[in-house]
Amino acid sequence: MSDAPVVTSELAKTYYDEDRGEIRAVDRISFACERGEILGLLGANGAGKTTTLRMLSTVLAPTSGTATICGHDIVHDPAAVRRSLGFYSASTALYPRLTTRETLEFFARINQYPSDRVKQRVDELIARFGLEKFAGARIDKLSSGMKQKVSIARTVAHDPPVLIFDEPTVALDVINALEMRDIIAELRDAGKAVIFSTHIMSEAEKLCDRIAIIHDGRILALGRLAELQAATGERYLEDAFIHYVRGVSTDAPPTADSDGTR
Amino acid sequence: MEMRSALRERNIVVYSILLPLLLYPALLWLMLSGFSFVRGQTEGIVSRVALVDVPPAHDEVRARLAAGPQIEITSANDDVDRALEDLRAGRVDAVVRFAPDSSTAFTNLPADISFDGARDRSASAKQRVKTILDAYRAERLDAEAARLGVSRDEWQQYHVVDLDQTSEAESGVYVLRILLPTLLIVMIALGCFYPAIDSTAGERERSTWETTMTLAVPRSSVVTGKFLYVATLGVAAALLNIVAMVLSLGPIISSLTGGKGRGATFAIPLSAIPVIVMGAVLVALFVAAAMMIFAAFARTFKEGQTMVSPFYLLTLLPVMFLQTPDLDFTPPLALIPVVNVAMMFRDAIGGQYQWPLIALTVAVEAVTIVAFLWLARWILRFEEIWTGAFQGTLFKFVRGRVAGPARGEAGNE
């Protein structure tokens, strides 16, 4: 059994829709993410990326399969899982009536960062993200760029070993997106296991150590960029992605590493 | 932290703190001022009275009626049919007809007063005339008794004297017994209303629901925390309202009665305070749990208001019971949530403590609160509720869970 901080095995999620019946949003996917690694989930909208990440963060319960975060099962020990990870997505907004400092203190404390070091941690985060001028400002008074920074700061406030970013750059301008990527790379370098979802090919190319191509709820391929290029014979990730997705569409078998293991 | 955040929300501060403190004393003042004004207007209306067959021996009656406050004698003749026709047509407000033989009987003055009960002005005219006739009769009887040298008891073997034994303190308690329980229930419900919606539908609208669900605490703790926060604001609203009402009632009534009401004291017995606080906590817990259940199905604040409002109106039900001052607090009433606490409040303000019924009330409220809280926690375990994917009401949801296919519950929390 892998000792990776993030391990999923045959993880699946099925929804029930009154009109369409059962919908398999995620179909038995398996992967692992190591310390000091950024694993990218690359897929089109509706591919199953967000559902996968929501299951890992215990927001959603899997229909079948298992996953562990730092050894804690996402179904049986969800509070411990949440303590071990930071989850960032467009749907995890900040509490608008708290100030920046209150927000960071709240997330550090409730996620059980040692209470005697909370103040120091908050000061560090405020300095790291350049929030000094806005420490006492209410969140709803901040610009969207500043909110983004506070959001990242609150995600890492309790210094979790695992970080999940669900399309973190989707609503950002070029400068803020670049800054976001720098922060994620910095977290990886600090030894965190980072799972990062995106549908932007260039982002995955630049940032991810390994890339899982996900389509219709299934992982079609998983490997380093060079491995995916070699397996498909394509020079660019975008072409490799199309190669795999079209292979599924025409019922051609996937060509590389599709068992989802490293 | 939720409380600190809530106290920065204008609606919550207004409805849970400012209104209990300021609105109801102000409303009470306006209401009593309105009553005084309407009463003044009514008292200013002239009563048109027709007299029929006035006995010559009692000419003074005619003089007294004519001199009566706001009474105008429109006619005095023997045509009773015409007078009654005028009454039916609204040309007169009361017809006083004396018995034909009253002209010879010195001590007797039989008379009937015809009026139109469907018209306030006519009913008022009847009352004015009756007051004068009663006073006239009493004076005649007393004079006759004096002439005969006998006491009133000897002269009138059967008579009734009204003696109001109410003390000033009791008058105040009477007013508080009617007003305060109603206001307390209304205030608790109002105090819970916005926080209940804000902590459920409001979170969804602000996209912070998922943030809360990723906190490293059990989901049940999140629900319990929200529940206690809503209930706390409900209790705070109630207690602030008690303080405001007790402090303001005396001066308001005094100012409206030109100082006549100054004697009435509006104080709650000290022994009632623990019972009132306990009752306020019970109602707040009950209302908070119920409102959160309804609001959990709303995706926006506005939807939340629509879904919670019917329950809010339902909590006003005790008002019906409290408007009947002589209604007793009985075991059947003790079985009805909220109504039982309202009745318990009323008894306690009057210094009455029916401990078996209080115990029954506490038991009923506790069971209901636990059931509601369990239901709230059960509902919020379903992903489709807190992700906002479910569209419908509580009843549709429960029906779907009971009869429909199995659906995802979010983990073992």
Using alpha carbons, select from A256, A247, A242 the residue that is nearest to residue A43. A242
Q: Give the pLDDT confidence of B309-367 residue by residue, as tens digits.
A: 999 988 887 777 776 767 888 899 899 998 899 889 888 888 889 999 999 999 999 99
What's chain B's length in residues?
A: 413
Tokens of B50: 């027709």
pTM higher than 0.80, yes or no?
Answer: no
Phi and psi at residue A48, to the nearest 5°:
115, 5
pLDDT: which is higher, B389 or A86:
A86
B218 touches chain A (CB under 8 A): yes
Q: What does R_g of chain A's alpha carbons equal in angstroms?
A: 19
Q: Kindly report the nearest CA distance between residue A203 and chain B, in angstroms.
A: 25
All residues of chain A having their beta carbon less than 8 Å from the beta carbon of residue B216 are: 79-80, 82-83, 110-112, 158
Highest averaged pLDDT of the listed ranges A88-102, B135-149, B202-216, B355-369: B355-369
The pLDDT, as a whole number, for residue B63 is 86
Q: What is the pLDDT of residue B248?
A: 77
Q: 69-88 in A: which are within 8 Å (CB) of B? A: 74-76, 78-80, 82-83, 87
Q: Judge contact between B150 and B143, C-beta under 8 A.
A: no
Of residues A92, A107, A158, nearest to B210 (C-beta): A92
Q: Residues B292, B369: contact at Cβ < 8 Å?
A: no
Q: How many Å apart are CA A63 and CA B390, to the nearest integer?
A: 18
Q: Among A93, A138, A158, select the one facing B211 at the smallest CB separation.
A: A93
The ranges of chain A with pLDDT < 50 are 250-262
Q: Which residue of A has its CA nearest to B219?
A: A79
Across-strand partners of A21? Answer: A17
Half-sphere exposure of A201 (CA within 13 A, CB side): 10
To which H or E segment does residue A8 belong? strand A6-17
Distance CA B174, CA B172 (A): 5
Chain A / chain B CB contacts < 8 angstroms: 85
A123-152 pLDDT tens trace: 999 999 999 999 999 999 998 888 988 999
Per-residue pLDDT, B409: 53
Q: Are strands B47-52 and A21-33 parallel, antiparallel or unpaired?
A: unpaired
Tokens coding A71: 């050894």
Q: Specify the higher pLDDT residue, B250 or B369.
A: B369
Predicted local confidence at residue B182, as pLDDT:
83
Number of other residues whose CB lies within 10 A of the CB of residue A250? 7
What would the pLDDT profile of A33-60 be if each residue is shown by its tens digit?
999 999 999 999 889 999 999 999 998 9
Chain B residue whose CA is closest to A90: B207
Parallel, antiparallel, or unpaired: how do β-strands A162-166 and A85-89 relate?
A: parallel
B10 vs A: CB within 8 A: no
> How much is the ipTM here?
0.85
